[in-house]
Structure 1
């Protein structure tokens, strides 16, 4: 039996809702329903009473729940121990913007400084990043937004002033038809819309800095960018700062668990922190 069937069962039992469980597990609702059906077939019993606005555990479901939790916990611990014994490895997770701003130099540093370590890198949503970090699936987590958890240590690795820039020739008149919107967070968005309410619309919206820069390089336009990002553009292209977003910066955070359990990982984390002093 696939262990993921049990984790799905636990999530449905916790949320009492197939849709919410699917959202939390990054699955479709039909996939969640299929897993529960296969689990019920395996145990030859019904695990949930399905009603229109309520999902309740049956008596069999109540009995299975503690065993499912214990089994999942035991298997996760076994997986971590076997990985530790078989090789030295590190898993880096990052949200989209943080991956583009931080992962290339971080991965190069890890390969050069820790050549015997195996490295895995993933791009995740902020919720997925937080969940995998707490589950110790991810060792180093990078994001452009803070994580609020008493179990997590967070530090700022990179900080740049944000400003509204024009890429290519043109005046300082700002039009939504040439605006490329990058998601730098609510504070940056609120200030920008206070200054330029017409920018509620945009010709392109994206959570990828690289995609935005490529579009701006080929088509021109205006966008909110960090100071360092404009240096990635072709130097022959005209670039002008229309207005700095006073008091608003782009930050990239490194998140790690406060209690590091694996031998050697603490030194690796310290090394990564040292190559990215916030500036």
Structure 2
């Protein structure tokens, strides 16, 4: 089996278009079509069907999808292990984008410093896809805010993140901040529900963003208010570029590590999690001002 056929299949599925898949793979549309025909000939089934100018997987294509992803993931791990001589340990990990700048980047630096010979594959995905990739064996461990409660998964707290309401304008009340250029950062469903309980009369925010870093950049450039991690904005608070909304209640969020209950890499997982400052949740607090 030519692995490039599987890569092409996954790219066509992702983009739902032969021409766009060709651009992504630096191939002509004809070359992409040829590869898909080769793969269909090898398997003896059709993998795609066109419906109203939309490219859809056939039932056989759906069955291939998970296997193709797993084969390529296993091949990537095997290639890395063989290239490194097979003597080094390897871990594949993933995290949600909203957690990298908040809780994972410093840990990742510590991990690389403490275990420089550890081979690492790191990915970012949505929590739903992270969970599926752990269950399917693509990832050894994943980090997220609101993990699914499944019997086959071990869930461990690794960080406590304190969110504080801050504003580019000094001396605002929470009511004023919520009604003037407020930015709603997506910290998950539980955060949205807690936010609504704390501020039931707040107007609907005109701006919603997926990551804290996006909100921070917007506030420094244009202004506004938002709930941001205390650790992330400590410097901006000290330099008076941002100001704490003093009557707004802090909100605590936990970050979790998720991995299989009977993981063959349990000892390694325990070791890398110990670098979260560690073995305990990180209590993120603002320095005194």
TM-score by length of 2: 0.68
Higher share of residues assigned helix: 1
In the other structure, the counterpart of 2:15 is: 28
In 1, the alpha carbon distance for the partners of 2:70 and 2:233 equals 47
How many residue pairs are counted as aligned between the two chains? 255
In structure 2, which of residues 242, 261, 264 is the aligned counterpart of residue 261 of structure 1? 264
Q: How much has 1:5 moved relative to structure 2?
A: 5.3
What root-mean-square deviation, in Å, do the aligned CA atoms of Structure 1 and Structure 2 show?
A: 4.0
Give the secondary structure class of the aligned counterpart of 2:256: strand
Over 3 Å counting, the alpha-carbon distance change for 1:171 and 1:141 in structure 2 is same
In the other structure, the counterpart of 1:121 is: 122
Over 3 Å counting, the alpha-carbon distance change for 1:232 and 1:4 in structure 2 is farther
In the other structure, the counterpart of 2:193 is: 190
Over 3 Å counting, the alpha-carbon distance change for 1:4 and 1:259 in structure 2 is farther
In structure 2, which of residues 207, 211, 214 is the aligned counterpart of residue 208 of structure 1? 211
Question: What does 1:60-75 align with in structure 2 at a 5 Å threshold?
Answer: none
Q: How much has 1:153 moved relative to structure 2?
A: 1.1
Q: How much has 1:71 moved relative to structure 2?
A: 9.3
Question: What does 1:241-256 align with in structure 2 at a 5 Å threshold?
Answer: 241-244=246-249, 248-256=251-259
Over 3 Å counting, the alpha-carbon distance change for 1:259 and 1:164 in structure 2 is same
TM-superposition CA deviations, 1:112-168 (whole Å, max 9, x none): 211221333222111221222223332331112223322221111112344433333
Is there any run of 5+ residues in structure 1 with no aligned partner, and where? 12-20
Give the secondary structure class of the aligned counterpart of 1:145: coil
- 1:157 has 2:158 as partner: yes
TM-superposition CA deviations, 1:63-122 (whole Å, max 9, x none): xx79x9989878876765662726322233110111112222212211221122133322
In the other structure, the counterpart of 1:275 is: 278
Q: How much has 1:205 moved relative to structure 2?
A: 2.4
Over 3 Å counting, the alpha-carbon distance change for 1:141 and 1:71 in structure 2 is closer
In structure 2, which of residues 223, 226, 244 is the aligned counterpart of residue 239 of structure 1? 244
In 2, the alpha carbon distance for the partners of 1:209 and 1:73 equals 32
Is there any run of 5+ residues in structure 2 with no aligned partner, and where? 22-31, 284-289
In the other structure, the counterpart of 1:132 is: 133
8 A contact 1:180–1:222 mirrored in 2: yes
In the other structure, the counterpart of 1:47 is: 46
